[in-house]
Structure 1
Amino acid sequence: MTTTHFDYLIVGGGMVADTASRGIREIDADGSIGILSDDVDEPYTRPALSKKLWTDDEFTWEKVPLGTADDTGADIRLQTRATAIRPDAHEVDADGETFSYGTLLVATGGKPVPLPVDDRTDGERVLSFRTAEDYRRLRSLAKDLDRIVVVGGGYIGSELAAALVQNDVDTVLVHTGAVLGDSMFPPALADRFEKLFRDAGVEIVAGSKVEGGQAGADGVRLQLENGDEVRADAVVSGLGIEVATDLAEQAGLTVDDGIVVDAQLRASADDVFAAGDVASYPDRILGRRRVEHVDNANEQGKAAGRNLAGAAEAYTHTPYYYSAVFGVRYEAVGTLDSSLDTVEDWTDADHGVVYYLDDDRVVGVLLWNVEDARDAARAVLAEAETLTRDDLVGRIR
């Protein structure tokens, strides 16, 4: 078995790999960087796959790749799946090769939650949605088929339903809530959110979990828990991800809802770091958490790369997350949970701030069509101990 050495080795080929490579280069202009990716594409901007590529004619495919190899000199090994990490030996096995490293970054992200469907089409009509290849397949189906079901009412599911219906696809959205968005938004806002989809022509099947189904050459039949059936030409899962911690667990790293890292993003073995969707890190404002959004991938990846190269800096950024559908953009910092008490502050029907309180302490801020206010939202969370409910209205404009 051949062994290849890299000063810096990254397992995972997503956006974290790109920003980590750039972070390394801020400290070390010459050290060798290796990226082991099981994707078929070099790192790319993932949010575009469910947003701009569907809705912005000027945002074309050539804007999706991030140019990681050209910009940083990283050696990217595509379709290369890591099978073992040996921290004591500073080695990683992948597809019959061994890679040794000076420092290692684990950025394995996650895998889409699969649908419980008997698929006899070899993936032609039953799709998960995570990668650029998944986007290309769904885009092709959207051109060729009439009716597509999206399963899942969270970020990915709602964005995909919006994308498909805006591309003249007869779209069905199946989700488990009573109203779309009701797990995150206060009741009146969830009603308004769902109305955006209904007004655009999306058929919403609420309060329903897919418990089985079959897919064949003639289409897809989904069985719901309540006994109903939904038929379409294809189905795509927008049910989120299962965090990919298997390699880390087998390597003996500490795992608890993600790979547990310290403030410098170091895992529990020497010279091993973790970042992105897979990392459980101590947020300086919000406490330990794991964040599956692009802002965290970008900022945490860069911080991890700098620390791989010896910067020894704490990751102090509190990430935000966002979605954009039907001309509405909402951003959030902290916890959005509709079971919490809320204080709403609306400038008008289309612009407002919602504060989420746990025991009268702000733990989350939702910005609804409010621009350039993320730092203000972070400040509210940082000062939460000193703020009363009366302090909140009018605080962010």
Structure 2
Amino acid sequence: MADSTPFSHVIVGGGMVADSAARGIREVDASATILILSDDVDEPYTRPALSKKLWTDPEFTEEQVPLDTAADTGAEILLRTTVRAVRPDAHEVVTTDGRTFTYGRLLLATGGRPVALPLDDASDGGRSIAFRTAEDYRRLRALADAGGSIIVVGGGYIGTELAAALVQNGMAVTLVHTGSVLGDDVFPADLARRFEQMFRDAGVELVGGSRVSGGAVDGSGARLELENGDELRADAVVGGLGITPETRIAEDAGLVVEDGIVVDEFLRTSAADVFAAGDVARYPDRILGRRRVEHVDNAQEMGRSVGRNLAGADEPYTHTPYYYSAVFGHRYEAVGTLDASLDTVEDWQEPFERGVVYYLDGGRVVGVLLWGVEDRRDAARAVLAAADELTPDDLRGRIR
């Protein structure tokens, strides 16, 4: 059944991109009608707080998480709504409950689904969480408030943030990761050892070089089987293993998909009047080349840019995003590629407290890590933009 009212803009996905896009539309067009279709149970909210400030800043509360998208932009938001299909030729979106909405321009901001653990959890009693949403945060908070033990699986930035947050909130935490040293896939060896020691000093039990091969979760707790035959038990388990971009409806609609939905510099897909942005979009970065970025800075900046373009601004997306993490009072930021297998140039002002690490591929800078260094992201971008002219000897002292 077709909806009787066509919308100027339909946004599929209800995350931070949807919020920023609605605001971007309003910068250009005050009267356009906006519909956001979200399979979440909450209206758009600030996602980074779920693994950071809500756990560590007592002055930051759940009431500060919602972004007030509908109130601020006038967008209509339908929650618990899953899109089944997109029909670009007809300018239609079809939901799983049988409704059809027509649009002038469409934005796919479908993000990604968390990588699931290989566990039997049909009746887990809320004790197994693939962490992604505000609802996941509420479930995890309830477990933390009850105390007890928990296994965190994943040594990336979400897994490490969750492990740090939970141990600081009184849980007995075991962190399972695949590296020989925590963070050794990202940081130079000495920094990785320092990073790992922060977790040990806080009381986190580290199980490195390990992958979860199976196990089960029920109302009484979690049992994890590791590939080496070891077994771990705890009251609950949470996965921080990253996401898989949600591209199914784009693929079914015939859009070009290659590790995400491929877009041009204006964030247009291969179909007329269909745009994509955020975690799911593979875009041409003006400095770093074509890539897909799963971080909040990109969600906000790309969301605003695509919203303006939905409304007719026709402006290229020129922002090179950064990402950040914070554990145990240490904040680090990065632009570009961080890969510990690359050559590095380390420039420490205060060892392992404040400094810059440059990552080089064939002698060319491809990534910059700012450890304890604030407000220097533009300087990092400038280094990456000038990579062809810089030698390793030019790097030390370049960012202070």
| TM-score for both structures, normalised by structure 1 | 0.99
Query: Equivalents in 1 of 2:280, 2:177: separation in Å?
Result: 25
Q: Give the distance between the partners of 1:61 and 1:388, measured in 2 at CA.
A: 47
What is the SS of the residue equivalent to 2:103? strand
Distance 1:189 1:45 in 2: 30
1:324 paired residue number: 326
1:70: which partner in 2?
A: 71
1:299-358 residue CA offsets vs partner (Å, 9 max, x unmatched): 000000000001110000000000000000000000000000000000012100000000
CA distance in 1, matches of 2:221, 2:313: 54
Match of 1:14 in 2: 15
In structure 1, how many angstroms separate the alpha carbons of the residues matched to 2:123 and 2:104?
44
The letter of the residue matching 1:248 is A
Q: CA deviation at 1:39?
A: 0.3
**Could you tell me which residue of structure 1 aligns to residue 350 of structure 2?**
348
Alignment of 1:40-51 (within 5 A): 40-51=41-52
Q: What CA distance in whole angstroms lies between the structure 1 residues aligned with 2:193 and 2:41?
A: 40
SS in 1 for 2:152: strand
8 Å contact kept, 1:6–1:33? yes
Please report how far the alpha carbon of residue 120 of structure 1 lies from its aligned counterpart in structure 2 after TM superposition.
4.1
Secondary structure of residue in 2 paired with 1:103: strand
Pick the aligned partner of 1:291 from 286, 290, 293. Answer: 293
> In the TM superposition, what are the counterparts of 1:138-287 in structure 2 within 5 Å?
138-287=140-289
Please, which runs of 5 or more residues in structure 2 have no aligned partner? none
Q: CA deviation at 1:122?
A: 4.0
**Paired residues, number:** 397
Residue deviations 1:204-249 (CA, integer Å, cap 9, x gap): 0000000000112321110000000010000001000011000100
Whole-angstrom CA distance in 1 between matches of 2:123 and 2:147? 14
Within 2, Cα distance between the matches of 1:112 and 1:291?
A: 15
Partners of 1:231 and 1:112 lie apart in 2 by 22
CA distance in 2: counterparts of 1:112 and 1:218, whole angstroms:
24
**Residue ranges of structure 1 left out of the alignment (5+ in a row):** none
Tell me how far 1:123 sits from its aligned partner.
Answer: 5.2
CA–CA distance in 2 between the matches of 1:89 and 1:168? 54
Does the 8 Å contact 1:8/1:103 carry over to 2?
Answer: yes
Q: 2 CA distance for matches of 1:372 and 1:381?
A: 16
Instruction: Provide the C-alpha distance between the structure 2 equivalents of 1:176 and 1:332, rounded to a whole number of angstroms.
Output: 22
* Residue matched to 2:308: 306
Q: Is the 8 A contact 2:17 2:300 kept in 1?
A: yes
Per the alignment, in what secondary structure is the counterpart of residue 100 of structure 2? strand
- Which residue number in structure 1 is paired with residue 2 of structure 2? 2
Percent of residue pairs bearing the same amino acid type: 72
| Partner of residue 133, structure 2 | 131
Which residue is 1:107 aligned to? Answer: 109
Query: Aligned to 1:117, what secondary structure does the other structure show?
Result: coil
Take 1:247 and 1:120, find their aligned partners in 2: how far apart are those partners?
Answer: 27
Q: Deviations over 1:20-78 (max 9, x none)?
A: 00000000001000000000000000000000000000001111000100000000000
Would the aligned equivalents of 2:124 and 2:218 in 1 still touch at CA under 8 Å?
Answer: no
Q: How many Å separate the matches in 2 of 1:61 and 1:228?
A: 38
Q: 2: CA distance between counterparts of 1:219 and 1:272? A: 45
Q: 1:363 aligns with which of 363, 366, 369?
A: 366
4+ residue runs of structure 1 moved beyond 2 angstroms?
120-123
Q: Which residue of 1 aligns with 2:395?
A: 392
Is 1:336 equivalent to 2:338 in the alignment? yes
Question: What secondary structure does 1:281 align onto?
Answer: strand
Match of 1:300, as an amino acid? M
What SS does the corresponding residue of 2:6 show, helix, strand or coil?
A: strand
Find the residue that maps to 1:172 and give its secondary structure: strand
The Cα RMSD (Å) is 0.7
